C-alpha cells in the first residue's frame, strides 16, 4: 500500500490496513470525483498517489447550516450542476524509493492542470503541508504555487520532567 510505504518513517503516523483504507474510501465515495484522484505507476506497480476532493463548503453554503432532506436535495443538485470550482489535496504519498526523483512535482503539476481555464475546477489548494516538510513546500512553489499558510504544531508539556522536541525536518 502506497500510503504505508510513504508515511511509515514519519513519527506519529500509524499504518493503515486494507479494511481501514476501504472504509475511508467508502465514506468519501459520495463526494469523490474520480478525475481528481491521481496515481503514478512504474512497471504497472503503484508508486504514488494524490487524493483530492472538491471544496464542499462551496456547496454547503446553499444549505444554510442545515442538512435535512431538503438540504440534501440542494446538495445533490449543486453536485450535479458542478457548482464547486475549488479542489484541495487531502492525502499525498510517494513510496520511498521514488521520492526525490521529480515524481512529487509531476503529480502536483498534473493536479494543477485540472484547474486550467477550460477545466471544471478553477482553484487548487494543497492542504496541510507542515513546517517540517520544506521539500514539499518547494515542490508546491516550483509548479507555480504559493505558500499561503504554514502549519506549526505546538505541544503543552504538563510534566516538566519531559523534554520537548519539535518535529524533525523531513529529509
* pLDDT mean over 37-49: 93
Inside any domain, residue 152: no
Inside any domain, residue 71: yes
pLDDT value of residue 171? 66
Tell me the per-residue pLDDT of 4-28, one tens digit each, with 9 for 90 and over.
Answer: 888 777 766 788 888 998 998 899 8
pLDDT value of residue 169? 74
- Cα distances (angstroms) measured from residue 31 to each of 24, 50, 58, 64, 116: 12, 16, 13, 19, 22
Inside any domain, residue 134: yes
pLDDT value of residue 132? 76
pTM for the full predicted model: 0.75
Inside any domain, residue 151: no
Inside any domain, residue 163: no
* pLDDT mean over 149-167: 76
Give the domain CATH number at 119: 3.40.630.30
C-alpha cell at 50: 494524490
Q: Where are the alpha helices (DSSP H) in the chain?
A: 2-7, 18-28, 57-60, 69-81, 103-112, 134-142
Q: Which domain holds residue 57?
A: 2-142
Q: How many structural domains compose the chain?
A: 1
> Which residue's C-alpha cell is 442538512?
67
Inside any domain, residue 167: no
Inside any domain, residue 160: no
- Asked whether the predicted pLDDT for residue 155 surpasses 80, the reply is no
Tell me the per-residue pLDDT of 50-106, one tens digit each, with 9 for 90 and over.
Answer: 988 899 999 999 998 898 999 999 999 998 998 999 888 888 889 989 988 889 888
Inside any domain, residue 129: yes
Cα–Cα distance for residue pair 2/48, rounded to 1 Å = 6
Amino acid at each position: 500500500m502506497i500510503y504505508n510505504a510513504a508515511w511509515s518513517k514519519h513519527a506519529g503516523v500509524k499504518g493503515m490496513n486494507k479494511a481501514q483504507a476501504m472504509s475511508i474510501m467508502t465514506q468519501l465515495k459520495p463526494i469523490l470525483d474520480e478525475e481528481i484522484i491521481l496515481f503514478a505507476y512504474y512497471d504497472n506497480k503503484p508508486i504514488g498517489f494524490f487524493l483530492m476532493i472538491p471544496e464542499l463548503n462551496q456547496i454547503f453554503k446553499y444549505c444554510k447550516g442545515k442538512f435535512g432532506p431538503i438540504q440534501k436535495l440542494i446538495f445533490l443538485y449543486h453536485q450535479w450542476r458542478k457548482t464547486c470550482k475549488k479542489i484541495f489535496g487531502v492525502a499525498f504519498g510517494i513510496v520511498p524509493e521514488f521520492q526525490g526523483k521529480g515524481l512529487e512535482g509531476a503529480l502536483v503539476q498534473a493536479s494543477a492542470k485540472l484547474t486550467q481555464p477550460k477545466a471544471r475546477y478553477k482553484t487548487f489548494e494543497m492542504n496541510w503541508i507542515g513546517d517540517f516538510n520544506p521539500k514539499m513546500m518547494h515542490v508546491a512553489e516550483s509548479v507555480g504555487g504559493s505558500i499561503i499558510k504554514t502549519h506549526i504544531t505546538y505541544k503543552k508539556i504538563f510534566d516538566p520532567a519531559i523534554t520537548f522536541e519539535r518535529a524533525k525536518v523531513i529529509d
